[in-house]
Amino acid sequence: MALANERVAWFNGNIVRESEVLIPFRDQGFLRGDAVFDMARSFAGKAFRLEEHVARLYRSLKYLDIDPGLSPAEMVAISEDVLARNRHLLGPGEDYWIGQRVSRGVQRAAGDRWEHYGPNVIVECTPLPLKERARLFRDGIDVITPSLRRTPPEALSPRAKMHQYLNLILADREVKAQNPDAWAVLLDRDGNLCEGQGSNIFLVRDGGLLTPRERFVLPGVTRATVIELAERLHIPCAEADLDLYDAYTADECFLTSTSLVICGVRSLNGRRFAGNVPGPVTARLIAAFKELIGFDFVAQYLARLEA
């Protein structure tokens, strides 16, 4: 296998340089957000729970009624191949997001001369923003709930990971206008906690975990892993409607995401959680996750701290 000096991607059946992945401007993913995606990550260059991420991708595809022309097993194999072809470009201690993106493609119109019709499929790798997020593992995350509410599931299900991200993007922009370092976690229309852009939230109360119900959030693969670990550690965990009272009276709080894995929250809407970050229950889960993957993801981030 020849290794390129530029990252490569799988694009509609071919391995090409990233700079050669060109989507037509009439692609429905670009015009209307009619596309789905998923993002796994690597630890020490090895993909984590890639099959689960691809399974979620195919649920999203089924929800949008898009057929990528590939089986889930083929998508997993392609993803592993793309990771293998790009692994040599990682620096010491670096890792990738491994992404799969599928759009509905170009709708035919009179006079069109596109080379490809039907779904556009991309599998790619992106370096994780380790340096940019390192301080979160030293200081904890400051969360703000924006005024913009999460799209309700009866309008568009948040359980599908789609290119319809403007609800989350605009909420994040509102929060960062207040505090550039803060992370947004949206509320639903009833004032209950939902999720952030690529992150799920957990509260710790009386030694147990509480997290928003799956119907109202994207069910994260890391979120599911944390729930599994909590069961192994005999830490009670429940899905529930959680409002700001629940958040303000919680003992601890943390976010989960593919890239961050588990990261403690320092404050929510300016109210600081008592004690050190991460708190004791969060720290137990972080330790269990490190043991599960055989890799210290916290040290990976902290190694990139700048004074």
* 296 and 148 within one domain: yes
The boundaries of the domain holding residue 52 are 8-128
What pLDDT score does 270 carry?
96
CA distance 250 to 275: 12
Q: pLDDT by residue (tens digit) across 129-165?
A: 999 999 999 999 999 999 999 999 999 999 999 998 9
In a domain, 2, yes or no: no
Q: Is the pLDDT of residue 241 over 90?
A: yes
Write out the two tokens for 73: 């097993």
* 285 and 160 within one domain: yes
* 110 and 166 within one domain: no
The full DSSP string for 48-73 is: SSHHHHHHHHHHHHHHHT---SS-HH
- What does the DSSP 8-state code read for residue 159? T
Q: What is the mean pLDDT of residues 241-252?
A: 98
| Residue whose C-alpha is closest to residue 183's, from 240, 152, 249, 139 | 139
Buried b (16+ CB within 10 A) or exposed e, 198-212: bbbbbbbbeeebbbb
* 140 and 78 within one domain: no
In a domain, 307, yes or no: no
* 142 and 83 within one domain: no
| Residue whose C-alpha is closest to residue 143's, from 202, 229, 97 | 202
Q: Is the pLDDT of residue 114 over 90?
A: no
Neighbours of 4 (CB within 10 A): 14
In a domain, 15, yes or no: yes
Binned at pLDDT 50, 70 and 90, residue 56 comes out as: very high
CA distance 76 to 84: 12
Binned at pLDDT 50, 70 and 90, residue 113 comes out as: confident
3-class DSSP state of 162: strand
Question: What CATH number is associated with residue 164?
Answer: 3.20.10.10
- What does the DSSP 8-state code read for residue 108? P
Q: pLDDT by residue (tens digit) across 3-47?
A: 778 999 999 999 999 999 999 999 999 999 999 999 999 999 999
Q: pLDDT by residue (tens digit) across 97-112?
A: 999 999 999 988 888 8
In a domain, 1, yes or no: no
Neighbours of 227 (CB within 10 A): 19
* 150 and 193 within one domain: yes
* 165 and 123 within one domain: no
* 284 and 165 within one domain: yes
In a domain, 203, yes or no: yes
In a domain, 155, yes or no: yes
Instruction: List alpha helices for the chain, DSSP H.
Output: 28-32, 50-64, 72-86, 130-139, 166-178, 221-232, 244-248, 280-293, 297-302
Instruction: List alpha helices for 207-266, DSSP H.
Output: 221-232, 244-248
Domain ends where: 128, 156, 181? 128
* 272 and 168 within one domain: yes
* 165 and 107 within one domain: no
CA distance 185 to 104: 29
Binned at pLDDT 50, 70 and 90, residue 1 comes out as: low
State CA 107 to chain mean position distance. Answer: 29
Q: pLDDT by residue (tens digit) across 163-213?
A: 989 999 999 999 999 999 999 999 999 999 999 999 999 999 999 999 999
Question: What CATH number is associated with residue 93?
Answer: 3.30.470.10
Q: Is the pLDDT of residue 244 over 90?
A: yes
In a domain, 116, yes or no: yes
Residue with structure tokens 């894995």?
Answer: 261
Domain ends where: 105, 128, 151? 128
* 80 and 100 within one domain: yes
* Total domains present in the chain: 2
* 169 and 101 within one domain: no
- What does the DSSP 8-state code read for residue 193? B
In a domain, 173, yes or no: yes
Domain ends where: 112, 128, 144? 128
* pLDDT mean across residues, the chain: 96
- What predicted TM-score, i.e. pTM, was given to this entire model? 0.95
